[in-house]
Homo-oligomer: A and B are copies of this chain.
Amino acid sequence: MLQEDEQTRHDEPPGPGLRTALEAILMVVDEPVAAITLAQVLERPRDQVITALRELSAEYTVTGRGFDLREVAGGWRFYTRDTCAPLVERFVRDGQQARLTQAALETLAVVAYRQPVSRARVAAIRGVNSDGVMRTLAARGLVEEAGSDPDSQAVLYRTTSYFLERLGLRDLDELPELAPFLPDDVEGLEDQR
């Protein structure tokens, strides 16, 4: 920490070092902040900022801090460490999140991999009407409307950034591959009905 500040002091104006500044800013945010935003405010190259964030995160983990710095939903943010969950729960009123039903999880999975997708399409894949479940997911902020299909006029749905947060994903690319679970030539089958 101090060492890094020492090294960079030669070629930059006096002030807090990069890591110190990052820690300070992330202390006041209430949503994930993109590395590029931090880089712009701190007037540093994005790569340098990302490296510093990763180093901080690794340091917190190695030294067993109660907090953790993680990249989720396209941004960086302080979290509590999972091992402290039982203690933290006593202070966080809204800690308890209702569990999703199997129906909700399946519907969420189809939307995540097929977005933007209509309710009829989801129903075709799951083999059951999924309208009620979709409304629940929308009310929970996990999916949202994403325009309508030009042909059928059906409302399309996609996952939200809150969905990424809840799953602890950086972005949709981090979703596990569907392919290993699928045989060949299944894509688009539901269209053949």
Please tell me if the beta carbons of B94 and A20 are within 8 angstroms of each other in the complex.
no
- Which residues of B have CB within 8 Å of A93? 131
Residues in B whose Cβ lies below 8 Å from that of A27: 66-67, 78-80, 88
> What CA separation (Å) do A40 and B38 show in the bound complex?
38
- Interface residue? A15 (CB, 8 A): yes
Give the chain B neighbours of A33 by CB distance below 8 A. 91
Contact B24 A88 (CB under 8 A): yes
Chain A residue total in the interface (Cβ 8 A): 54
Contact call A92/B16, Cβ cutoff below 8 A: no
Contact flag A28-B81 (CB < 8 Å), given A67-B23, A141-B103, A141-B128: no
Complex contacts, A21 vs chain B, CB 8 Å = 66, 84, 87
**Copies of this chain, whole number:** 2
Find out whether the CB atom of A94 lies under 8 angstroms from the CB atom of B41: yes
Closest to A86 in B: B15
- Whether A66 lies near B141 (C-beta < 8 A) is no
A58 CB-CB contact with B under 8 Å: no
Among B1, B79, B131, the residue within 8 A (CB) of A94 is B131
- Complex contact B91–A16 (CB within 8 A): no
Task: Rank and list the top 10 A-B pairs by shortest CB-CB distance, nearest first.
Answer: A23-B66, A24-B66, A24-B84, A24-B80, A20-B66, A27-B67, A94-B131, A41-B91, A127-B139, A27-B80
Residues of A in contact with B (beta carbons under 8 Å apart): 1-2, 5, 15-17, 19-30, 33, 38, 40-42, 63-67, 78-81, 83-84, 86-88, 90-94, 97, 103, 127-129, 131-132, 135-136, 139-141
